[in-house]
Amino acid sequence: MRTTVGIIGAGPAGLLLARLLHNAGIDSVVLEARDRAYVERRQRAGILEQGSVDVLRAAGAGERMDREGLRHDGIELRFARRRHRVDFPTLTGGRSVMVYAQTEVCKDLIALQLKEGGPLLFEAEALAVEGVDGHSPRVRFRHEGSEDVLECEYVVGCDGFWGVSRKAVPAGLSRVFEYTYPFGWLGVLADVAPSHDELVYARHDRGFALLSMRPPATRHHPSKEVASLPIESFVSRLYLQVPAGTDAEEWADEEIWDELERRLETADGWTLARGPITSKSVTPMRSYVHEPMRHGRLFLAGDAAHIVPPTGAKGLNLAVGDVVTFARALTHQQETGSDDLLDAYSETCLRRVWQAERFSYEMTTLLHRAPDATPFDDRMQLARLERLTTSRAAETDLADGYTGFPLE
């Protein structure tokens, strides 16, 4: 099998890249180790930055997102039982974010790829990436019980942290930067309307809490646009800071609700609505960057190259930035014969990656209480939050970072 671009991984990064290349008239083949059903139900990020929304629309993949997603024009910060709303459009010149789950993005892109794009092979496990130092790299993979080879001009590894792509970068050339946080997130999905119409980020002496939401299953509203539904139609997605290594089953449902109520409490009588918890899991927290993001004709994208803690809602959006950068660079090469943008891929992506890492780290350390925190640390967190809520410059910096750094 032969193609111009071999894409490993059918997550949002790989699928969006295939769509961008298709629209540019460049052929590709996507290899995905899992089956379609797994990819379409894999729960991950739920917040799309303004730039990601714009890219999906321009790629022809925004119709259902615009119909069923939920535009958010701000977030609420809570600390010391106080509430402060950060208004994104006012601070950023009109930018906002969209609540639209990664699973739905993948469904939309899979449907487009199967209808209009090149080959998308599910249950096609990439075994190794070879020959990236030359002009004809190849991907060895197993599909339908036998091994095969995909010969390419370029390989883009969108296969996540545990994939094979990054292993093709020689160890002597790799530099890894990482930090593991001493806590994680206990996340629950609950069959109850959200208690607030925007995301709530709460700093508390007992630890961080987040109130979020997910759109309702569309089967319940076959004739209505989800975006036009009242907030009462949505379900709640909530998170609690817990010690690293926590087992989600250690927490009884009522304990979770009690702890959420404590950490989200305000002085103005706001109440938290409770309901049946339908799922619970613990997400570890880490920051990770692999440099370089390009070696020869191999390009790394998304979690294959970098991971951020979920506090800043940056993971999926960074992956979008990576594949947009590659698609623009390859289109430029095809049109002009110049490799300049391809050669600059790693440097271009890493500028944005490190800003997202910084933002995510700052949001995480601002709102989470470290296990060994001192009274001085607590007062410093409160002072930082006071600054955010009383300085337009500081608030604008947060809004700029949250709604997204420019796609170069």
What domains lie within the chain, and their CATH numbers? 5-403 (3.50.50.60)
Proportion of the chain above pLDDT 90, given as a percent: 91
What is the model's pLDDT at position 250? 96
- Clarify whether 402 is annotated catalytic: yes
372-401 mean pLDDT: 97
Catalytic residue among 201, 239, 306, 368: 201
Joined together, the tokens standing for residue 98 give: 């969209």
- 5, pLDDT greater than 60: yes
User: Using alpha carbons only, how large is the chain's radius of gyration in Å?
Assistant: 22
Cβ-contact 304, 180 below 8 angstroms? no
295 DSSP β-pair partners: 298
Per-residue pLDDT tens over the stretch 50-93: 999 999 999 999 999 999 899 999 999 999 999 999 999 999 99
- Clarify whether 167 is annotated catalytic: no
Catalytic residue among 154, 181, 345, 402: 402
* DSSP H or E stretch at residue 284: strand 277-291
Measured between alpha carbons, how far is 247 from 279 in angstroms, rounded to an integer? 13
What is the model's pLDDT at position 406? 82
Per-residue pLDDT tens over the stretch 216-238: 654 334 334 444 555 666 889 99
Give the residue from 6, 8, 56 showing the smallest Cα distance to 304: 8
Residue type, 174: S
User: Collapsing DSSP states into helix, strand and coil, what is residue 144?
Assistant: coil
Q: What is the mean pLDDT of the chain?
A: 94
User: Collapsing DSSP states into helix, strand and coil, what is residue 77?
Assistant: strand
- Clarify whether 314 is annotated catalytic: yes
Per-residue pLDDT tens over the stretch 236-282: 999 999 999 999 999 999 999 999 999 999 999 899 999 999 999 99
User: Collapsing DSSP states into helix, strand and coil, what is residue 60?
Assistant: coil
Instruction: Indicate the pTM of the whole model.
Output: 0.93
319-332 mean pLDDT: 98
Q: Which residues contact 117 (CB under 8 A, 6 or more apart)?
A: 18, 19, 22, 28
Joined together, the tokens standing for residue 170 give: 């020689």
334-342 mean pLDDT: 97
Joined together, the tokens standing for residue 141 give: 């993979």
CA angle, 181 as apex, 33 and 97 as ends, to 5°?
Answer: 65
Give burial (CB, 10 Å; 0-12/13-18/19+) of 148: middle
Proportion of the chain above pLDDT 70, given as a percent: 95
Joined together, the tokens standing for residue 374 give: 């001192």
Q: Say how many C-beta atoms besides its own lie within 10 A of residue 276's C-beta.
A: 9
Assign 3-class secondary structure to 364-376. HHHHCCCCCCCHH
Catalytic residue among 72, 196, 295, 306: 72
Catalytic residue among 100, 215, 310, 368: 310
What is the model's pLDDT at position 216? 66
Structure-model confidence comparison of residues 369 and 228, the more confident one: 369
CA angle, 392 as apex, 387 and 393 as ends, to 5°?
Answer: 85
Max alpha carbon distance in the chain (Å)? 65
* DSSP H or E stretch at residue 112: helix 102-116
Give the residue from 16, 46, 45, 61 showing the smallest Cα distance to 156: 16
End-to-end CA distance of the chain: 33
Measured between alpha carbons, how far is 358 from 308 in angstroms, rounded to an integer? 9
What is the model's pLDDT at position 217? 56
Per-residue pLDDT tens over the stretch 26-55: 999 999 999 999 999 887 778 999 999 999
Using alpha carbons, list the distances in angstroms from residue 76 to 101, 297, 341.
20, 44, 39
Measured between alpha carbons, how far is 245 from 191 in angstroms, rounded to an integer? 26
Per-residue pLDDT tens over the stretch 149-172: 999 999 999 999 999 999 999 999
Q: Where are the beta strands (DSSP E) in 153-215?
A: 154-157, 175-190, 199-202, 209-214
- Clarify whether 310 is annotated catalytic: yes
What is the model's pLDDT at position 214? 81
3-state helix, strand, coil in the chain (%, to 5): 40, 25, 30
What is the model's pLDDT at position 219? 36
User: Collapsing DSSP states into helix, strand and coil, what is residue 79?
Assistant: strand
What is the model's pLDDT at position 230? 57
Catalytic residue among 306, 314, 345, 368: 314
- Clarify whether 345 is annotated catalytic: no
